[in-house]
Structure formats: structure tokens, C-alpha cells
Structure 1
Amino acid sequence: MSADAAANRPAAIQPTSAYHEFAPPDAAREHLVCLWTQQVGGGDVDLEQNVLPDACVDVIWVNGEPTVAGPATRASVALLPPGTLLVGARFRPGWCAGVLGVDASELQDQHLPLADVSPALARRFSTAVADVEPVADRLAAAGALLARQLAGSPPPDGIIRATVRWLAAHPHGRVHELGRALHLSDRQLQRRMLSAVGYAPKTLHRILRFQRLLALATAGGPHAVLSSLALRAGYADQAHMTRELRQLAGRSPTELLPGAESALQKAELF
């Protein structure tokens, strides 16, 4: 193609995206952060959806077919074709293992068909949600299905719940202090956290601090001072925050913070 022809070629039409979060059913509030939907509009190219680490596992129905997005340690980009409809359920950190019947560390940085993780669960989830229309009814069907599934699933033990709460509430805290408070060795705590959450405690601490920062930045608006945000979120200083954002999100604070929101906003962890 000549340079003139390339210059005169019409620009690709970017698809639109509508994303919404909803409170989970009452029976699932202890287990889920939220239910959510995303609808990708028409366009000539795929939507490039930036996905940030949030310590959660999501079950996502992609055009009706169930998949699992495991706990991420770094940002990734999901390509969503125009017309894609996603219905998702976001588990609280540590709550997925009993439902899916799998060690959460096996799902780290993975996005898999639910059938590869739990074939029996995938059959139940597919038939109950795939053919439901419209979107609101599909969302309600997913919520009701999860509530029934969660009712028969064992919750995480008290150590896991206490660890997640403590790490979220103490962004300046030291993980070894937590082990002493729980009367566990570092090795015992790490083993239990990897199984239930998919991360070692220090990694979970970093990601919860990152999500706290996103929540603070959203609340502070476009005029929030970066140095103040860094300290309030739990970083040693602005330089520390910048290094962490480049490692976890692949962007600088000025690139990321104006548009990003915390995936844990409805979890009330902060």
C-alpha cells in the first residue's frame, strides 16, 4: 500500500464499552465483592481492556460461556471483539477455593474456561445462564446460581479472613507482625494464603495497597496531590509508589490514576 493510500484510509472505529457493578444477592454478600456487566459496542477493531491486579478471582460468562480469571500479579490486556457481553462475579480475596474446588495458586495469572477447572460446575453454570435474556435477567440468573452454590461450599477459615482484613487495614504494616499475632510461622501463613488467595502474604499486601491507592485517587479527584496519595495509601514516598505502579500496572501514576478505579470499591476493605 502506498503512503498516500495509507494516509487516506479511514480511521478504525473504536468500540464503546459500558461497565457496571451491582451488589451481590444477600445470600452471597459475604463471599462476593460484586456482580458486574460489560457490554462492548460496535466498531472495526477489538476493545483493548486493561485488567489490573486486584487479589480477586472472577467467574465471567463471556457471551454466556463461563470462564475463570485467576488472581493476577501484573496488568494484562484483554481483547474483546465488538458485540461481546460479559457478566461477572468477583469473589472476595480468599473465597473462591471452596467453590471452585481448586488451589487458588493454580489460577494465578490464568484466564481459563471453567470447564478446565471444574467440569461439573461449568455444566451447571452454562445451562443456567447462557440462554437467558436480557442482560438484567442473565445477571440475576448468575447471582441466584452463585448464591445456591455458595450455600453448600465451605467458607475460608478464620485465619484467611483475618489476614486479608489485617493486610487491607494496615498498608504500613509488616507481614511478620501478622504472623506473630496469628501465632503462625511465616511458612505456615504463606502456605495457607497461597492455597486460599493465590498469593503469598507480601504479594497480597502490595496488591491491596495498590487497590487502596486507586480508591483514594478516585475519591480525591483530578487535583489530588501524588505525594499525599502515596503516603495515605501506605507507600514510603512518591518514588516508592511510582515503582510499584510500574511493576503492577505498567504505567506511571500520571498515566494510570486519572482513569483507574478500585475493583474492591464495594468490598469495604479500606
Structure 2
Amino acid sequence: MNPSTTLLLPPPELQGCVRAFISRDTTGSALSMAERLNRFPSTPLCTLTWFLSGKAITVEPEEGVLLGRIVASGPLTRPVVTFNPGPVRAFMAVFYPSAWHQMCGLDPGDIVDCFIEPSRLGPGWMEMAQAVLQAPDDGARVALLAAFFKPRWTPAATQPAASWLERLKEAAHAGAGASARSIERRFKAIGGQPLRTLRRLDRAERTLADVHVAAAHGELAWSDIAAEAGYSDQAHLCREVRAITGATPAMLARGDESFWLYRIWR
């Protein structure tokens, strides 16, 4: 039996707050040691993860840290690899950093490259997380999260922005003070990384989506993809993708099991 991995889009009332929910189940799958790895890219997004059963241990950049059964993580400035010693069932909620900034007591910039307990996020978060852990299925988990987030999150008055980067720009410009320096400080506090870095991540995310579409249609031409995405050449594309994901574009296109997140992301 192959592992089951599903990306669930948020209900309408959480669009602009939650980027996606992810359900992962490897029980009943005969995975090799290499296939039990989980590879995550650098990202400005924030995540809550529940290990409904099984465990995860960090491999890179720090080795041997056993993650808690419920763990929150902030933006990542470098690729992260974890390992499941055995079968695992996990559920993830992935948040836009601007929404995370609004809903809890920590700026994303305060927990860059960190894994923390939900209790640090403010009143009620740990109780909510425990309720989600005990929920009978993914539908019930999404419903609990929606009920918790709706009173804590105020959607933008305008139409939803096209990307997480545009949402960050709106949030950074909405604060007090209009100088370039004050906006840059707010941008880093909310996004966890400088604007220049976040632009690179945004471009890489869009490029990797193009790679998967092209690979699925048997039309993978690296030089064309690099040019369309605005990279100076194919080598520039490869350097950027490797820095952000820890892998070459060819490795990602090949779709080894440890790159499961890249296969479902859209």
C-alpha cells in the first residue's frame, strides 16, 4: 500500500488565513529508510502539526531532536529534513504569516527556524490543539480549527491578494509609520525574513509548480522554465532551488517519496 497524502484547501471563511491543510498517513506502507524522510523547503509560512500516531525526529539542519506530538513551527530560512522511525499519521495546518501575526501573541519573526509548543501561542491554543488531536477525522479537525480561528482573524476588506507575498506587503503597510525603514521592519517581523529573501521564495514556489506541471506533461525544458521565471539562466535556477529546497530541480521532478510535499503542493 502506498502512503496517503492529501492537500485540503481551507473553507471559504478561512481563505487568506489558512494556506492549506495536509493529511499524511504511512500506516500499512512498507517504506525504506530513505522513504521515511520528510523534506521541507525554506518558507515564510507557519505550521501547526499533529502526530496522531507515530513520531518524527529531526535530521537536518539539527540531528536527533524528537518533535512533540503537537508542534508549531515558524518560517524556515533553510531546508529541514525529518525522519519517521515507523508508520505515522499526521495532520498539518499551514498559515499565511500575516494571519499568524494577527491571531497569536508571537510574530513569525520571533520563531524563525523554531519548533515550539502551542501553549506559547496564546490563551486557548493548547486546548484547541488537544481537541484537534482527539478529533475522529480530518473533517472534524478542520471544523474545530475553523471555529477557533474565525473570531481571532479579521479578513482584509479588499479582495484576497494573489499570493502570501502580497498579503505580507498589505500587512506591513497597514501598521503605524509610513517610512521605508519602518515598513521594512514590520515586513521582517511579520514575514520572519527580509523582503529580498521572501521575493526569492515566492519566485521559487511558483517555479516549482511550473516544473511539476511540465514534468507531468513530459515537456520539461529547464532553460525555458528558467527564462519564464526571470532567472538569468538554468544554472541560476538550479542554485536558487537547491538553496531553498536542499535538492536540485531534477531531484524534485523525479518525485522520490521523501519529496511528497512537493508533489501535492499547488
Q: TM-score normalised by the shorter chain: which range applies?
A: 0.7 to 0.9
Cα gap change, 1:158 to 1:228, in 2 (>3 Å)? farther
| Cα distance between partner residues in 2 of 1:204 and 1:211 | 10
Matched with 1:107 is 111
Matched with 1:142 is 141
User: Structure 1 residue 231 and structure 2 residue 227: aligned?
Assistant: yes
- In structure 2, which of residues 5, 16, 20 is the aligned counterpart of residue 30 of structure 1? 16
Cα gap change, 1:241 to 1:87, in 2 (>3 Å)? same
Cα gap change, 1:95 to 1:150, in 2 (>3 Å)? same
Cα gap change, 1:93 to 1:156, in 2 (>3 Å)? farther
User: Structure 1 residue 55 and structure 2 residue 49: aligned?
Assistant: no
Cα gap change, 1:225 to 1:258, in 2 (>3 Å)? same
- In structure 2, which of residues 101, 105, 124 is the aligned counterpart of residue 97 of structure 1? 101
Matched with 1:218 is 212
What is the letter of the counterpart of residue 40 of structure 2? Answer: V
Aligned-residue RMSD, C-alpha = 3.2
| Alignment map for 1:92-241 (pairs within 5 Å) | 92-118=96-122, 120-126=124-130, 128-133=131-136, 137=137, 139-155=138-154, 184-221=178-215, 222-241=218-237
Q: Which 4+ residue blocks in structure 1 deviate beyond 4 angstroms?
A: 42-46, 156-159, 161-168
Identity of aligned residues (%): 24
| Cα distance between partner residues in 1 of 2:102 and 2:114 | 18
Cα gap change, 1:199 to 1:157, in 2 (>3 Å)? farther
Cα gap change, 1:165 to 1:53, in 2 (>3 Å)? closer
- Contact in 1 for aligned 2:51/2:89 (Cα 8 Å): yes
- Contact in 2 for aligned 1:100/1:117 (Cα 8 Å): yes
Structure ID, larger Rg: 1
| Cα distance between partner residues in 1 of 2:182 and 2:263 | 30
**Greater mean deviation of Cα atoms: 193-202 or 39-48:** 39-48
What is the letter of the counterpart of residue 241 of structure 1? Answer: L
Unaligned runs of 5+ in 1: 1-14, 169-174, 266-270
What is the letter of the counterpart of residue 143 of structure 2? Answer: A
- Deviation of 1:119 after TM superposition, in Å, equals 6.1
User: Structure 1 residue 75 and structure 2 residue 64: aligned?
Assistant: no
- Deviation of 1:23 after TM superposition, in Å, equals 1.9
**Greater mean deviation of Cα atoms: 235-244 or 183-192:** 183-192
| Cα distance between partner residues in 2 of 1:262 and 1:112 | 27
Aligned length: 234
What is the letter of the counterpart of residue 26 of structure 1? Answer: P
* CA deviation map 1:213-257 (0-9, x unaligned): 111001111431101111222322212112212221222222233
| Cα distance between partner residues in 1 of 2:180 and 2:163 | 15
What is the letter of the counterpart of residue 201 of structure 1? Answer: L
Cα gap change, 1:34 to 1:113, in 2 (>3 Å)? same
- Deviation of 1:205 after TM superposition, in Å, equals 0.5
- Deviation of 1:85 after TM superposition, in Å, equals 1.1
| Cα distance between partner residues in 2 of 1:71 and 1:158 | 26
